[in-house]
Amino acid sequence: MKTLPLFIDGQFVASQSQQFIDVTNPADNSVIAKVPCATQGEMQAAVASAKAAFLIWKDVPVSERARVMLRYQHLLKAHQNEIAETLSLETGKTFDDAKGDVWRGIEVVEHAANIASLMMGETVENVARSIDCYSLTQPLGVCAGITPFNFPAMIPLWMFPLAIACGNTFILKPSEQDPLTPTRLVELFVEAGAPKGVLQVVHGGKEQVDFLLQHPEVKALSFVGSVPVGQYIYQQGTQHLKRVQAFAGAKNHMVVMPDANKDQVINNIVGASVGAAGQRCMAISVVVLVGESQAWVDDIKAALAKVRPGLWNDKDAAFGPLISPKAKARVQALIAAGKEEGANCLLDGSDFSVEGYENGNWLGPTLFSEVTPEMRIYREEIFGPVLCLVNADSLASAIALVNANPYGNGTSIFTASGAAARKYQHEISVGQVGINVPIPVPLPFFSFTGWKGSFYGDQHAYGKQAVRFYTETKTVTARWFEGDIPAGPNMTIHLD
């Protein structure tokens, strides 16, 4: 049985903890590793190492920091398949889905390699007579990240490469449910030439998270996860005077106009709703059928009925199991609630299993029609392969429905009308909008911009906003005297 190490002060070390958490294969719930809950002493050692390393790393030329990221992205590409296999084993994702998880992280590392231009300040000459003003972008210090189970490669790579490229040091607390993938990411980061102490990895649960939230040397903290935990992270982090970005829940709507291409719409509905077993914060969990598109329900049902979950190396499997028995039980309870509250269950995947892997966390595609906003399956984030169909009589009523939802992570509209698309993108109160694109996750030179109850904080993940999150701006006003120095004090605030 493999016991995962911590990574502190440039070395993988065996934890002295007496508390361990089982890491399981979701396909059969067999235990594949154990992860330690780091002790208080180990947590303190990680912070101390990161603080000491920051004093050196912040003065390393930005071009040298960029070269570390260039070498790192090269290694990640070379090992993409290997990382994806590990990721599939501990999450249950299909191999192609796991490769996509790794690749979206690689894209952020590529963006971090462009850090020199991202950290450029601004200059204005002669803001007053012979006085120049310019800004400098400088790192914060020790930063931390707490990552979820559903993207164990992509989301850690959202965080530590950009933070470190900016000149900070970083403490990563990955999900205890799938820590094997982040451990491999760290091994490759060391191979890329990352200096000792710039990255630390600690494991555990709430106690270790609270330590990072409360420690005064941790200046900024990034979190991705559920709503109640995200609210807690934001409240506790800001209460302890930290910068916090907390990405929380979602209820993403796809609005389907009757002029959209039906085949294109249905193909996108299937992948966006049950891909990755619905365990994506950007999954489409509600489809709003507008006007005559309400006649497409049977076609949507037929398309969803054709897909099935399976093992990660099953080329015919559309998606894998849920992450844990607890997650499966929660989704089953919500499916039962939908039936009890009067939604029409057209497909029920509650009792699905895979031959030979009956102990796995399997759920098949589940489809509800006649869903209303009062129902639990509409109000709550399901995080499973469950799709709700809602009817709307017009685009205006569809917009009102989406805007009334407390979440604002992502949404999309499928239409052939530029006017409808323009109206939707302008009026919708959601941070990320797709037009004939079902899951509008932006590439890294933009930022991941969830709104409302989907995000707590000011600056979002990756892109320019992440650089601002991980840095401070210093403004310098400078004058150099030539010849005679003016006599007497200047008693005003004016720059003369």
Query: Active-site residues: which are they?
Result: 281
The beta-strand segments (E) located in 202-250 are 218-224, 243-247
Q: Say which DSSP state 223 is in.
A: E
Sheet strands (E) in 227-322 = 243-247, 252-256, 284-290
Cα distances (Å, whole numbers) of residue 182 to 42, 172, 186, 277, 417:
18, 9, 6, 21, 43
Q: Is the sign of the CA dihedral 51, 9, 45, 113 positive or negative?
A: positive
CB 47 within 8 A of CB 173: no
Q: Which two tokens stand for residue 368?
A: 């509800």
Phi-psi region of 187 (alpha: psi -120 to 50; beta: other; left: phi over 0): alpha
User: Could you tell me the two tokens for 166?
Assistant: 């900016």
What's the number of CA atoms in the CB half-sphere (13 Å) around residue 451? 15
Q: 379 exposed, middle or buried (CB, 10 Å; 0-12, 13-18, 19+)?
A: exposed
> Which tokens sit at 53?
């390393």
First to last CA, the chain: 72
Alpha-carbon span 377 to 340, nearest angstrom: 11
- What CA–CA distance (Å, rounded) separates 448 from 460? 6
Alpha-carbon gap, residue 375 to 472, rounded angstroms: 45
Pairwise CA distance, residues 72 & 56, whole Å: 20
* Tokens encoding 395: 């685009």
Q: Nearest CA to 127 among 393, 478, 490, 483? A: 478
Segment holding 294, helix H or strand E: none
Among 289, 238, 235, 237, smallest CA distance to 266 is for: 289
**Non-local CB neighbours of 179 within 8 Å, separated by 6+ positions:** 4, 23, 33, 35, 90, 152, 203
| Residue with tokens 């992270």, as numbered in its chain | 233
